[in-house]
Amino acid sequence: MATNDFTPFLDIFDGMEPFSGYVDKGYVIDFVGQRTDGEFHKIWGVNPEEIGDCELQTVLPNLSDGEGWFEYFNWVAAAREARGSYVMMTLGSCYGGQAVGSYLALQALNPMPAMLVAVDAVPENMAMTRKQFRDNGIDPDEHWMVDAAMSGDNKPVLFPVGTPGLGAQSCTQCNSGAGRMTILDMANRNGTMEHLAQSLLLRNSTGLVVDLEPGSDRDYPAEITFVSAITLRDLLTPFPRVDYVEADLQESEGLVFPPAMDLLTRKVRRVHLGTHTNTTHEVLEGMFRERDWDILFSYKPHQTYETPHATFEMNDGVITAVNPAVAYSS
């Protein structure tokens, strides 16, 4: 199957009725009817007092939406092909929109029992994910909610905790050897080594606050803290088959996916990755190709693309891969 050939998929949303109806005050809603608390979007300038409390007609996704179209495509494609039962994982859940959207698409198009797995290391993000589930009629206690960072092994990792909803955190930089040495060097220069030791022993935190978006016109603070880590192998092991894995890990995808590629190829039907550097994008795409996955879509980050069907901008890159070794019987 040719990569980035949209022709076979242009009708993916055919037959779907986009949401139409009343939207509660303080909420936004998408084409599958997913309700999202405006509080979750305040970080992006949304005022919850100024949204909702109105009748709304949504529209089906358009390829010019860019990143969003690829996410919505996978919600619907995974839902249409599922058989018997459904398992979906969202790695770096933020407020849980990918899991809930996937679930609602499934129940609208191909209803069946489903297990959702949501992972995030920011406690406030997991609280938002649980609320997002409840706001959309899903009991989070019936699904697997994992308060941890994704990593390549289970050693606790240094992770920037703070600014919930931003979705810019990973353990890639601050947990690296260079990142840890930077923290030690700062403590040495500032004469705060004793404070660092106390904070680590008593609070599992360095006490160091960093700006997640340096150079922006506002501060996005996060405290570098030790958090528990879970691997993709840990998540996949309990399930005989996983229908869809979605991941937006802010460059940690380069740590998380390589150690699990063989297990992914045995168990997982579909993967959709947000990628954040060209190098990691190329490495991961190569790993999927080496194991004979079909790469449906591959667009590197921070570029504008012109296609015969639409022009779109990408902030994160995307890789959508489908595994022919995990197929469904009719």
What pLDDT is stored for residue 165 in this prediction?
A: 64
Contact call for residues 159 and 125 (beta carbons, < 8 A): no
Tokens of residue 266, six digits: 């045995």
Domain check: are 81 and 147 in the same one?
yes
Domain check: are 243 and 113 in the same one?
yes
Is the alpha carbon torsion for 284, 289, 293, 298 positive or negative?
A: positive
Tell me the C-alpha distance between 53 and 26, whole Å: 7
What pLDDT is stored for residue 194 in this prediction?
A: 87
- Residue 291 inside a domain? The answer is yes
Helix (H) or strand (E) run with residue 321 in it = strand 317-322
Tens of pLDDT, residues 12-46: 999 999 999 999 999 999 999 999 999 999 888 88
Tens of pLDDT, residues 106-150: 999 999 999 999 999 999 999 999 999 999 999 999 999 999 999
Q: Which residues of 15-31 are buried (b: 16+ CB within 10 A; e: fewer)?
A: eeeebeeebeebbbbbb
Domain check: are 220 and 185 in the same one?
yes
Domain check: are 175 and 142 in the same one?
no
**If 0-12 CB within 10 Å is exposed, 13-18 middle and 19+ buried, where does residue 200 land?**
middle
Residue 183: which domain range? 169-227
Domain check: are 241 and 265 in the same one?
yes
Give the domain CATH number at 96.
3.40.50.150
Domain check: are 143 and 246 in the same one?
yes
Domain check: are 83 and 48 in the same one?
no
What pLDDT is stored for residue 212 in this prediction?
A: 72
What pLDDT is stored for residue 164 in this prediction?
A: 66
Tens of pLDDT, residues 50-68: 999 999 999 999 999 999 9
Tens of pLDDT, residues 203-232: 988 888 877 777 677 777 888 899 999 999
- Which pTM value belongs to this model? 0.94
- Residue 330 inside a domain? The answer is no
Number of domains in the chain: 3
- Residue 163 inside a domain? The answer is no
- Residue 162 inside a domain? The answer is no
Tokens of residue 256, six digits: 């998380």
Domain check: are 264 and 130 in the same one?
yes
Domain check: are 51 and 78 in the same one?
no
Average pLDDT of span 259-282 = 96
- Residue 158 inside a domain? The answer is no
Q: Which residues pair with 245 in a beta bridge?
A: 89, 271
Q: Which residues of 168-185 are buried (b: 16+ CB within 10 A; e: fewer)?
A: ebbbbbbbeeeeeeebee
Provide the residue count of the chain: 330
Domain check: are 124 and 250 in the same one?
yes
Domain check: are 243 and 198 in the same one?
no
What pLDDT is stored for residue 68 in this prediction?
A: 94
**Which of 115, 52, 76, 126 shows the shortest CA–CA distance to 270?**
76
- Residue 5 inside a domain? The answer is no
Average pLDDT of span 237-242 = 97
Decide if pLDDT at 279 tops 80. yes
Neighbours of 155 (CB within 10 A): 10
Tens of pLDDT, residues 296-321: 999 999 999 999 999 999 999 999 99
Domain check: are 194 and 293 in the same one?
no
- Residue 215 inside a domain? The answer is yes
- Residue 134 inside a domain? The answer is yes
